[in-house]
Amino acid sequence: MSNSFYRNGAAAILAAGVVSVAAWKAPQASSYLLASANPAATVSVAPAGTVPAVVANSSYAPVVERVEPAVVTIRVEKRAQMVPTDQQMPDDLFRRFFGEQMPRGQRGPRMAPRGVERGLGSGVIVTQDGYILTNNHVVDGTDKVQVDLPDSRTFSAKVIGTDPATDLAVVKIDATSLPTLTIGDSDAVKVGDVVLAVGNPLNIGETVTSGIISAKGRQTPGDADSYQDFLQTDAAINHGNSGGALVNVAGQLIGINSQILSPSDGNIGLGFAIPSNMAKNVMDQLVKNGSVRRAKLGVTIQPISHDMATAMNLPSTHGALVASVEDGGAAAKAGLKQGDVITRFNGKAVADNNQLRNEVAATTPGTSVPVEVLRNGKTETLHATLGELAPAKGARASRSNDRSEGGKYGMSVQPLTPDLADQIGVPRTTQGVVVAGLDPEGIAADSQLQEGDVIEKVNGKTVTTADALRTALDNSNGKPSLLLVHRKDATIFLTLGAK
């Protein structure tokens, strides 16, 4: 059985036998439902280092008593689309029921009556005047949002703003003097910290479960345009917990529960929460502007594998490898180059490409930041004034159908001509060779090369013919070869093991 990630909705299996993503949620819609912002809304933030080491009496009851009143149930509704029923009710069948008073050719398509689709999730009250944090997938595209408080009061809610990239949303109810949760510092959370998850799983009522922080900085399969830095926990999370609170033993909000990984739809101890620092940044922008602005460095980055580190003589796999630099972007103006390894951003060490991507996105556009890079074995500090990220463009598939003779590396290639460049969707000025065929059991396939890839360089040297590629690979002296590859709309590095 395949593993699945679940949010609030029906499972959507991507492929048999592989990890799949599910969206257990209310119906989707592409537009935001925005209300006027309330600049006066304030959120209390807990100082770092205030989490007690233990609960003195070995009971979490005092913590639960503080937390539960601020965790709510969110119920949503959306009208189902009207569906033509002619395929189920052909013309002769209509005549059987309605007779000849319905002439042929004059009857329009019949539509099935619209039903109501309902969804369920949880939320966290973060201001006394009714601002509530939840997941985007709980409220996205809904026509009606209702909030049930633990004290049995029910309110209609407005969606202030949603951010699909982080799966966060803010809704507002018209109330005052509400109980709230203090937002803690998720950066201060450590693996092994005790946590409680609070929400309404399976609509059985508010429920508290306990566990620990199992890991930090997790990513799950999903949209490439999403921003993920999940706290992983073994505290039981099930359908309906989405948007609920993950708190520490001081009762501070450190995460918004978002996903589970399970082969059977139920909790198996693999739950994921959006860290509170990311949630607060997004929430503040949604409350103020109704949308989220993100900075842009202007580079394509990728993780560093062990083979890449060996091929590039890097001291470790830490950092983010610059695969390409956008012309005229912030990175280009700052002097960043293809092949640089970004090791620090704005004074903070970079562990990997995902962390860097999140750090850049969380920075205000227009900010000038120091960027430390490792280049040719030397460390340099550059300064970049960040741009602003535009909406992501859809990826375009590219593939070459021409095939040529294979080789010992398990691939066949051909020179890249301007006409072929047009066919596979790369700039006509691109130089290199196109991967025309792959042996599924060959070295090239093991190195994650794909048909239609354009190999531009091997170990820093441009290759434009099959002979040049073979010579460059044969001269690797037993080390993995570092390939610069143009794939679809991006440039990436790959390593090819020595034959």
Return the active site residues. Answer: 137, 167, 242
443/455 Cα distance (integer angstroms) = 15
Closest CA to 253 of 276, 234, 271, 274: 276
304/380 Cα distance (integer angstroms) = 19
Please report which residue ranges of 274-329 form alpha helices under DSSP H.
276-289, 306-311
312: amino acid identity, one letter: M
DSSP code for 319: S
DSSP code for 486: E
81: amino acid identity, one letter: Q
SS3 495: strand
For 32, 131, 230, 281, the CA distances from 273, given in Å and listed in that order, are: 23, 19, 5, 15
Please, which residues have CB within 8 angstroms of residue 102's CB and are 6 or more apart in sequence? 94, 95
Q: Strands, E, within 270-345: which ranges?
A: 271-275, 295-296, 299-302, 320-325, 341-345
107/124 Cα distance (integer angstroms) = 51
394: amino acid identity, one letter: G
Closest CA to 227 of 164, 303, 318: 164
Phi, psi of 70 (to 5 degrees): -100, 0
Q: Cβ distance 248 to 195 under 8 Å? A: yes
Q: Cβ distance 259 to 278 under 8 Å? A: no
| Length of the chain (residues) | 499
Q: Which two tokens stand for residue 111?
A: 């539509």
**Vertex 360, ends 354 and 363: CA angle to 5°?**
140
Please report which residue ranges of 70-110 form alpha helices under DSSP H.
91-98
Please, which residues have CB within 8 angstroms of residue 477's CB and are 6 or more apart in sequence? none
Q: Which two tokens stand for residue 91?
A: 């013309």
Closest CA to 217 of 350, 90, 92, 120: 350
DSSP secondary structure string for all residues of 126-157: -STT-EEEE-HHHHTT-SEEEEE-TTS-EEEE
- Tokens 């490792």 label which residue? 374
